[in-house]
Structure 1
Amino acid sequence: VLLSDFQPGFVRASLSYILASFFNLKKIPLAAGDRLGLAVLIHLLIKPKLFFSSGAILSYLLVFGLELTNNLSKLRQNIKLNLLINPVLLFSFYRINILTILYNMIIVPVFNYVLLPLTFIAITLGKFLPSIVDMIEKLFLFIMRIIEMIANTKLGMLTFGQLKWWQAIFLLLVTVVSILLPSLKLTKLRLKYWVVVSYLIIFIQIHFPLYGQVTFIDVGQGDSILITTPFKRKAYLIDTGGKVSFGKKKSQPQVNRITLPFLYSQGIDHLDGIFLSHQDADHVGDLGPLLDQIKVKKLYFAKGLTDNPSFRKRIANHTNQIKLVPLLANDQVKEGGLVFNVVYPFQPGLGKNEDSLSLYFEIAHKKWLFTGDLDRNGERKIMEHYGLKVDYFKLGHHGSKTATDPEFMKKLTPELVFISSGRNNRFGHPHPETLQTLQALNIPALNTQDSGTITWTYSKFGPSKFTTFLSRKNK
């Protein structure tokens, strides 16, 4: 327990062992289920927030499941246990592997009859026969490479989406009762069919939603905006976010802990397109890791960006799988009932701020404008050519004083603007000059550094609304 830093599984196992030993010593009969319940209560006294951890929930749930299924064959027990933990997995991680049972049937014997015995041999004979340790280590590495190769294929992986809390509890309860059916003689209820139908209904609701969205994902100091359509859903990103790496040490891409979990939670396992505003790392730094892990049909970018060596390096391993679409002002992208109008740049560039791809489109009678990190000069050129008026506008360059020209904003007349900036960012975004411009024009703003992820949803069956993650207030 100490070596694992009080990891819940070790604490549970130790408590159960101590309780079993105590009651056996005192010759007090106590059922295994009651012993597990007592371990839960003691563990909760030690750590009241125990079940805020999905690992703790799964640990206790699996042991509870083992008690319920100890009279079943190994195959049936595996099936029941996987059904039991699926609601928790989908609530916490949004994805399941439908071939888990098959993988367990392969891996468990390898672990029990190959890896464990070889480990014992290496420990006991390693001092006298070092060559055996070298051979065992090579075998271990070989087996690990095979496991990694199988894992990288993602064979059997299903992106289901996130269950709501009440859906998870309902499915958990129905699954427990269905496991107990033979002993309770409640076969007339046919709860196993309820489980299948419930999963199917929830899956359809997630993957064929009644609403679409424009979501400003809270990626810190950077941009990443998700746009989806209702029903036969289409999904697009404007930029991917990312961080600048200093020195040789590289941190895990934030797309792994922010963007991908957010997409998976909505059942999105592919993107119909990604629009790249320009080359800066806080806009496209996570493009490579994102392309490594999720299918993307098309990459849209301002013409000339592929002449940038840094950008070519980002996409070098993916050019055969993705269609590259260069764009200039006056081009249109018509996809999934949406029409993305390109309003900047007017000539090819190398992906600098002043070359930022700028998009104007309309969804549910609301007009949107996105300008990347475009400067004031670029904003004025857009207004000269198009004379746009919009409902919603994402401020250029994260609210920097280099963008948000007062005359441009006065003519644009947005009813609400958005700022995507990191908390305590070293650039001081948004700048006071920009906030003063908004205040003078009486334009309200929502900022990801204050509100977290900002989502606008729309539907044919109700009014559109804004929801901010941190405040959880509808606007």
Structure 2
Amino acid sequence: MIQMICIGWVLGIATMGKTFPLLQLWLVPGIALFILTLLLKLTVLKHVQRLYFKFLQLCIAFCLGLTLGYHYAELQLNERLQFREQQTEAVEVIGYVKNINELGDQSIQQKIQILNRHTEVVQWQAFLKNEMDSGSKSVLELGQYYRMHGQILPAHSYATEGAFDQEQWYIQQNIMSGFKVSAIEKLSQQQVTALGYGRHLRQQGSVSNQIQLWVEQQRLALRNFINQQPVQHKGLMLALLTGDKSLLDPETEQLFQRFGMSHLLAISGPHVLIFAVLLCWSLHQLIRRYRPQLYLKWPKQYLLIWPFCASVALYCAFVGFEIPALRTLLSCVLISLFILFKQKVRPLNILLFSASMLLIFDPFSILSAAFWLSYGACFVLLRIYQTVQQQSGMDELKSRMQRVKLQLKLLIESQWKIFLALFPLMMLFFKQIAWITPLSNLFAIPWIGLVIVPLDLLAALCYFIAEPLGSLVLQLNDLCLAALLWLLQLLDWLFAPTLQPIAMNFAVWLSLCLGLIILFLPRNVLPKAWAVLCFIPLVTLDASKNQFELNVLDVGQGQAIFIRDQDQTLMIDMGGNYDEAKFSIGKQIILPFLSVKGVHQLDQLILTHLDLDHYGAYQSIKYDLAIKQVYSNEQVEIPRSSRFDYCRQGLQWHWKNHVDMTVLSPKAENLVYAKAEKNEMSCVIYLQVKNAQPYQNFLLMADAGWQTEYQILQDYPDLKVDVLVLGHHGSRHSSAYAFLKQLNPKIVIASAGFNNRYGHPSKMTLQRLQQLNIPVLSTVQQGSIQFIRQANGQMQLHYAREQRQWLKRAAAKLKS
């Protein structure tokens, strides 16, 4: 019953940000039913062993845990959201520096405690210019107070399915806003007290806060020490030791990404566990050789538990007691307690208890991919531990060579099992995977865990005792890292691995998860053959059952529209960043979105014109996504597998008697002006969905302005429009009053970026729409906007920013 409560608790916390009315009403009845069944079990039904009663108990326990988790998550989230910044403005703040910064090529990111913004102290992410190259030190020192001037930079996500949710990350990290610093003034303690913050000053003088500050200072000193050493791979050393990527060069980071080993550069536990096991094994050998009588007083497992936990705790100190490290420490402590009290180590129980305890102290860690990935990896490792434990009786009969073979077998087995077990989670969070990961991990993880990390830790310890010795160990470790990178570069040359985007919708993903869970459960829990049934949707999913949908995607300041009906797929533009190499709209938004939709190939792509905010993403992913046919008003480079044709007036498509599409502009004879007049020569698409209500006719204006609008009214005087995607993102030079009045759409949509420099959609355009009583939706306020046709022909509207509480914006919404 406790296990079911824990499962319900974790899943209840996982609903954070979503609203479930049934769970909101279930709390009091759930508690009452749980107490009632517990009393019945202890009194009247004490000796009853009926299966249905046990099942009822488990269901009530699960529902109680689910409800408690849901309410706890909702309470914590509401408290955190009330201090979040949502508007850009220039401010003056008083800040306290408590955490070590993170260095970048152009800027320094520094978490700061803001004292004067709200009644409570909040945390912001400050961005400062990186002046380290000029020889100056970081302008913000640990343990100091500052008066800072700058601009608030609220977190604003691309609210598109599959895209990285920056607002969620800020909330998980307890960051209420970004802050671009323009001026800094250091404050003395007397000035801080005079400003009225003496209480905060006294709080920071407490023993616990002073210990945390000392740890951060030592981490900073250690980073500076490593940075001063005559070694080539100082960034990789620091990242593997503490998770700090400040000194890591982009080429090495990209190499690890291609091999699917980025988790090793974050604060991670598995390689430290290997180090802890190695340390305990070495200690065991020393005791057995020189002090075997110690085992007469204390059994081996009881004696070695303490150094094992101490080594993990030491790692936590090195990484600043971050949540991922504490998660590893908590699991180790629980396992140790089970061993000390002679209880059987059950992997599922260990993970459930540690996860439940962690979520009490930090429910927001449920939003982190590291939470799920680390617990998934721990579950597989603990299952392997069980296997080893079951074979321990045979170990005495094996020779040393046989033991080595067994250990190699377990190493290989663990890598492919972890790869398979974490495959659904990798797809859920990253939408891509590197197939060479099991092979690279086979060599990298033992080398990192058994050689590099121990040397890193030894060098760090030597730094506090004798710096020259620490420097010598770092130079030795540099050679070991060079060997690892040489091997990875050799594999890179042989296999040329890349991160492959995988298209998998929710139904297929869920069936894959269920199948893998069945495979990894202990024997005799469920028949392994049932997993085959779960894998059937992987090969039998019928794409022809997809309903019509049109998605105006949130790609910031740009436009991208995805259309699907049954097995036909089309995109009109793909958006794009001014620098796709710096941040790729194609790789970070378009490909993940298509992956969530289960689309691995587009039938058609219409590039309305060749402005970067409409086609830049295509340039970055044209070789990563199969596209059968590309249309544009200008010649564009395409892969060999694609075909090209010009987009011109009169071009039509018919999809299985459900959808008709027509190009209304430009005329074929005007295509010669496309390069000089990109906006007015944009491809304007008219789309009709048959037997759909209330939205049947869609007009997609791209970047066309008044001239094109006038020509469309002349060529198509009887045009019926229910949904109008505003031309040029709602610019004042488009959407003329006469054009809007004649078409009189039911709603209009502006595809624009948050706080964009052009002011789109413009106030003039909004005033015209207001005068005509035409409702306005925008990707800024609603995020991605989806029209989906139900079986009864009703066209429903869905907004991406309604899916999670932190994404919602205060704006008038159209009821579908």
TM-score by length of 2: 0.48
Paired residues in the alignment total 444
Amino acid at match of 1:219: V
Q: Quick one: which of 102, 110, 114 aligns to 2:443?
A: 110
Partner of 2:361: 46
Partner of 2:523: 182
Where 2:599 maps in the other structure, the secondary structure is coil
> Structure 1 residues 3-12 or 337-346, which shifts more?
3-12
Q: CA deviation at 1:37?
A: 4.3
Partner of 1:16: 331
Q: CA deviation at 1:240?
A: 1.0
**Is 1:344 matched up with 2:665?**
yes
Q: Distance in 2 between matches of 1:220 and 1:414?
A: 24
Q: Quick one: which of 378, 381, 387 aligns to 1:71?
A: 387
Q: Pick closer, same or farther for the CA change 1:423–1:154 going to 2, 3 Å.
A: closer
Q: Distance in 1 between matches of 2:490 and 2:738?
A: 60
Where 1:293 maps in the other structure, the secondary structure is coil
Q: Distance in 2 between matches of 1:112 and 1:261?
A: 28
- Is contact 1:277–1:371 with CA below 8 Å preserved after alignment? no
Amino acid at match of 1:107: S
Where 1:355 maps in the other structure, the secondary structure is coil
Q: Pick closer, same or farther for the CA change 1:428–1:206 going to 2, 3 Å.
A: farther
Q: Pick closer, same or farther for the CA change 1:12–1:151 going to 2, 3 Å.
A: farther
Where 2:506 maps in the other structure, the secondary structure is coil
Q: Quick one: which of 733, 753, 762 aligns to 1:422?
A: 753
Q: Quick one: which of 373, 384, 394 aligns to 1:58?
A: 373
Q: CA deviation at 1:326?
A: 1.1
**Is 1:287 matched up with 2:613?**
no
1:62-461 equivalent positions in 2, closer than 5 A: 62-69=377-384, 70-71=386-387, 74=410, 81=418, 84-94=421-431, 104=438, 106-111=439-444, 137=482, 140-141=485-486, 143-144=488-489, 146-147=491-492, 150=495, 152=497, 158-163=502-507, 168=510, 175-176=516-517, 179-180=520-521, 182-184=523-525, 190=527, 192-201=528-537, 204-205=540-541, 207-230=543-566, 233-245=567-579, 251-302=582-633, 305-306=634-635, 315=637, 318-333=638-653, 338-346=659-667, 347-348=670-671, 349-350=674-675, 352-365=678-691, 366-387=696-717, 388-461=719-792
- Is contact 2:515–2:534 with CA below 8 Å preserved after alignment? no
Q: Distance in 1 between matches of 2:788 and 2:704?
A: 26
Deviations 1:262-301 (CA, angstroms, capped at 9, x unpaired): 1100111121121111222211121211213211222211
Deviations 1:346-386 (CA, angstroms, capped at 9, x unpaired): 20121521211111121234222112111101100111112
Q: Pick closer, same or farther for the CA change 1:208–1:367 going to 2, 3 Å.
A: same
Q: Distance in 1 between matches of 2:678 and 2:477?
A: 58
Q: CA deviation at 1:85?
A: 3.7
- Name which structure has the greater RCO, CA cutoff 8 Å, separation 6+: 1
Q: CA deviation at 1:328?
A: 2.1
Q: CA deviation at 1:83?
A: 5.3
TM-score by length of 1: 0.79
- Is contact 1:90–1:161 with CA below 8 Å preserved after alignment? no
Amino acid at match of 2:767: Q
Give unpaired runs (5+ residues) of structure 1. Answer: 307-311
Q: CA deviation at 1:229?
A: 1.1
Amino acid at match of 2:568: K
- Is contact 1:376–1:403 with CA below 8 Å preserved after alignment? yes
Deviations 1:96-126 (CA, angstroms, capped at 9, x unpaired): 67x67xx52x3344336777788699999x9
Deviations 1:298-331 (CA, angstroms, capped at 9, x unpaired): 22111xx23xxxxx6xx3xx44342221122223
Where 2:645 maps in the other structure, the secondary structure is strand
Q: Distance in 1 between matches of 2:802 and 2:450?
A: 54
- Is contact 1:228–1:234 with CA below 8 Å preserved after alignment? yes
Partner of 1:309: none
Amino acid at match of 1:137: A
- Is contact 2:574–2:618 with CA below 8 Å preserved after alignment? yes
Q: Distance in 2 between matches of 1:88 and 1:117?
A: 27
Q: CA deviation at 1:215?
A: 0.3
Partner of 2:296: none
Q: Distance in 1 between matches of 2:702 and 2:575?
A: 12
**Is 1:31 matched up with 2:344?**
yes
> Structure 1 residues 333-342 or 364-373, which shifts more?
333-342
Q: Pick closer, same or farther for the CA change 1:356–1:81 going to 2, 3 Å.
A: same
Q: Distance in 1 between matches of 2:587 and 2:761?
A: 26
Q: CA deviation at 1:224?
A: 0.3
Where 1:226 maps in the other structure, the secondary structure is strand
Identity %, equivalent residues = 24
Q: Distance in 1 between matches of 2:588 and 2:442?
A: 33
Q: Pick closer, same or farther for the CA change 1:132–1:221 going to 2, 3 Å.
A: closer
Q: Pick closer, same or farther for the CA change 1:274–1:171 going to 2, 3 Å.
A: closer
Q: Distance in 2 between matches of 1:471 and 1:115?
A: 44
Where 1:417 maps in the other structure, the secondary structure is strand
Deviations 1:411-455 (CA, angstroms, capped at 9, x unpaired): 223222211111221111111221122222222221111111100
Give unpaired runs (5+ residues) of structure 2. Answer: 1-315, 389-408, 460-468, 804-813
Q: Distance in 2 between matches of 1:208 and 1:47?
A: 44
Q: Distance in 1 between matches of 2:477 and 2:365?
A: 43
Deviations 1:136-165 (CA, angstroms, capped at 9, x unpaired): 73772463363487464667x74222359x
Q: Distance in 1 between matches of 2:639 and 2:445?
A: 43
Deviations 1:51-109 (CA, angstroms, capped at 9, x unpaired): 22232112112222333353287577666655544444444445567x67xx52x3344
Q: Distance in 1 between matches of 2:753 and 2:481?
A: 48
Amino acid at match of 1:45: I
Q: Distance in 1 between matches of 2:569 and 2:783?
A: 21
Amino acid at match of 2:327: R
- Is contact 1:95–1:161 with CA below 8 Å preserved after alignment? no
Cα RMSD over matched residues? Answer: 3.8
Q: Distance in 2 between matches of 1:218 and 1:206?
A: 28
Q: Pick closer, same or farther for the CA change 1:135–1:47 going to 2, 3 Å.
A: closer
**Is 1:469 matched up with 2:800?**
yes
Amino acid at match of 1:243: N
- Is contact 1:94–1:163 with CA below 8 Å preserved after alignment? no
> Structure 1 residues 331-340 or 397-406, which shifts more?
331-340
Q: CA deviation at 1:134?
A: 7.4
> Structure 1 residues 263-272 or 31-40, which shifts more?
31-40
